[in-house]
Amino acid sequence: MADLDGTINAKDFGLDKPQTTPGFHIKGAGQLDFGMQHRLARIFGADGRTVMLAFDHGYFQGPTSGLERVDLNIVPLAPYVDALMATRGIFRSVVPAAVDNALVLRASGGPSILKELSNEHLAMDIEDAVRIDAAAAAVQVFVGGEYETQSIGSLTTLVDAGMRLGVPVMGVTAVGKDMVRTSRYFGLATRIIAELGAQLVKTYFVEEGFEEVTAACPVPIIMAGGKKLPVLDALTMAYKAVDQGAAGVDMGRNIFQRRAPIAMVQAVRAVVHDGAKPEAAADLYRELSGGQED
């Protein structure tokens, strides 16, 4: 019988000793095949970090605010980010094939916001990810949700398919309305996703213990942006996440719902890739946006 509680106080996350990655600059990827490494290197820069733009919300929310016209609101942001995260329908119908961003393809789906969201399945074959030239495929994982085992099954099925064809998989921790948002929960969820073979994990930032979440996850963690926050708060969250071990951010609403999205994405990039402090990045947003404070 596993000891679930007895060693909690004795845990050592080795926070003063970053995990090494022999022969490759992306955490946990040193022993992957060439194709996997090549695709991951398209997502992450030479500094091992990424700014990903998430606009896959429509697969269960429909045309949410800011995503009514992806061609008008999102495509102009592409030159400022490393990776684009969307569905195959949006990539094929709206995103110009000439973009040179890494593409992260939403691979799971099923219920809308009108139903139980954890009742997801895989919504595409891995071969279609290859046809689209995706750098990674993403699947939602509902640890603690009603359909937890089903979503983990989708993850492992996609990981197996990705291993055959050299496509990395990003496991996305999904938090339902009844799930806690603590470092203990996210430590559990991210470790499960990594242990079952995902090459990168997307999760939320928490104020207490986030560095333990990133330290205990053997593959890169990318911070999810979540709901729209005031500019300084969003940039502070991104700064803290990267400072505490995240390999970058995957932001959506905190960028495309701004009054000046192009200014905001440049401010986020300054935080992630240039190490700008939140206040300096907020000043950059105001400068580039003509004084916006949203």
Catalytic positions are 202
Instruction: Kindly calculate the radius of gyration of the chain based on its CA atoms and give it in whole angstroms.
Output: 18
Encoded tokens for 9 = 């106080």
Q: Phi and psi (nearest 5°) for 121?
A: -135, 170
**Using the 8-state DSSP alphabet, how is residue 63 labeled?**
S
Element (DSSP H or E) covering residue 108:
strand 108-109
The helix-helix angle for 261-274 and 278-289 (nearest 10°) equals 150
Q: What angle do CA 199, 240, 179 make, to 5 degrees?
A: 65
Tell me the three state secondary structure of residue 60: helix
Q: Partners of 84 in the beta sheet? A: 53, 103
How far is the C-alpha of 113 from the C-alpha of 196, rounded, in Å? 27
Element (DSSP H or E) covering residue 158:
helix 148-165
How far is the C-alpha of 225 from the C-alpha of 7, rounded, in Å? 32
How far is the C-alpha of 32 from the C-alpha of 65, rounded, in Å? 39
Tell me the three state secondary structure of residue 45: coil
Closest CA to 210 of 246, 175, 179, 235: 246
